[in-house]
Amino acid sequence: MNVLGVETSCDETSAAVVGDGRYVFSNVVLSQTDLHAPYGGVVPEIASRSHVESLPDVIREAVVNRSGLTWNDLDAVAVTYGPGLSSSLLVGIAAGKGLALRLNKPLCVINHLEAHIYSLFLGEDAPHFEDVCPFVALMVSGGHTCLVRVEGLGHYILLGQTVDDAGGEAFDKGASLLGLGYPGGPAIEKASQGGKADFVRFPRGRQKKEKLRTYGLDADLCFSFSGLRTALRYYLKEHPLPKVRSQRSATFAESSTCQSHYADGTATAAKEVTSEVSSIAASYQEAIVDALVERCGKAVRDEKYLAAVGGVSLNKRLRSRMSELSKSIGVKLMLAKPEYCADNAAMIAGLAGTGQGIWRAEAMAMDACPNLGIG
């Protein structure tokens, strides 16, 4: 079954064609990073307007120019219906419904979080989900951070989640405080190179259990990143960085150029990074990674596999620490291919290709679900 997938939940406009849930014929991702960078975060109005402008071309590119298939070869249309920004989700949903009607093919609406987990199974050489379930997945992106036990497709148990900021949000806000630009994850990762991760001891989000709003979830498996951001703010108050550091300057004694990139290699910002900023960034990154890895270690029980998905799973330090953890506790680590970690439509089309999601008349009646959860 060939599925055309559409993804517009946040600031990536994406369309993809995937065969039988696994063979990615095309996956076009248009990032809006440059539009949002001046504001230091995603501006919903700009995001939805940009989806409206770009989506027709992105879909045409994915189907006509890159898939090697024709419109007639498509068997279904799949689209993200939540969670995400409502005004952005609505653009994709309207397009999906229109295409399904025009092509006379069934519509399927997909949960974005379930699709991130499914990103592990995209590609000819990817594992088959029936061979690896049950497994524990760390889902960590700009909008979500949670630990999920995956018992099978469609069978998810939420083990823990963030009680405030998402992991990616912590990277983005930290980078903003350090003047490293947006998106913050790649910027902090780049700035951290050569820095000392033990330069500042930032908090790891371990709070008194009774203080965490875990909604019945095990507090040991929940995350909290707002204290980390506050700690960085106080640190920078006590140790102010010279203003010149966030501007381009040739006057630093020890400096390197940091260029932040998106997954597709698009350059977004160039900043001068001193060794001090580098070490603060490395310490901040280490605190986030520590918090994520520690909870993964606690979440795994008798599963044989551990996985990390979502935009933050692109982080090399997180990948290497997850690899160390999995070796030490005797489980195998699964990571999505880099091109499927951040938001993309291949994961939407792929999951729909397995028969998951809400289909046909029920899908046609669906609205955006900005707060959709998992498990």
CA distance 293 to 204: 11
Footprint of ligand KG4 on residues 186-215 (CB under 6 A)? 186, 189
C-beta of 361: minimal distance to ligand KG4 in Å? 28
Task: Check binding of 83 to ligand KG4 (CB under 6 A).
Answer: no
90 CB-side CA count, 13 A? 8
Sole window of 100-108, 159-167, 247-255, 339-347 interacting with Zn ion (rule: CB under 5 A): 339-347
Task: Check binding of 12 to Zn ion (CB under 5 A).
Answer: no
C-beta of 340: minimal distance to ligand KG4 in Å? 10
Give residues with Cβ within 8 angstroms of 285, minimum separation 6: 171, 188, 189, 192, 197, 315, 317
CA distance 255 to 263: 25
Which CB atom, from 10 or from 76, has the smaller least distance to ligand KG4?
10
Which CB atom, from 141 or from 279, has the smaller least distance to Zn ion?
141
Angle at 138 between CA 133 and CA 142, to 5 degrees: 140
Sole window of 96-104, 126-134, 343-351, 353-361 interacting with Zn ion (rule: CB under 5 A): 343-351
Give the DSSP per-residue string, 92-149. HHHHHHHHHHHHT--EEEEEHHHHHHHGGG-STTSPPHHHH-SEEEEEE-SS-EEEEE
For residue 275, with 0-12 CB atoms within 10 Å meaning exposed, 13-18 middle and 19 or more buried, which class applies?
Answer: middle
C-beta of 109: minimal distance to ligand KG4 in Å? 17
C-beta of 200: minimal distance to ligand KG4 in Å? 18
Task: Check binding of 17 to ligand KG4 (CB under 6 A).
Answer: no
Q: Which does 168 bind (CB under 5 to 8 A by kind): Zn ion, ligand KG4, none?
A: ligand KG4
- Give the residues lining the site for ligand KG4 (CB under 6 A): 10, 141-143, 168, 171-172, 183-186, 189, 310-312, 314-315, 342-343
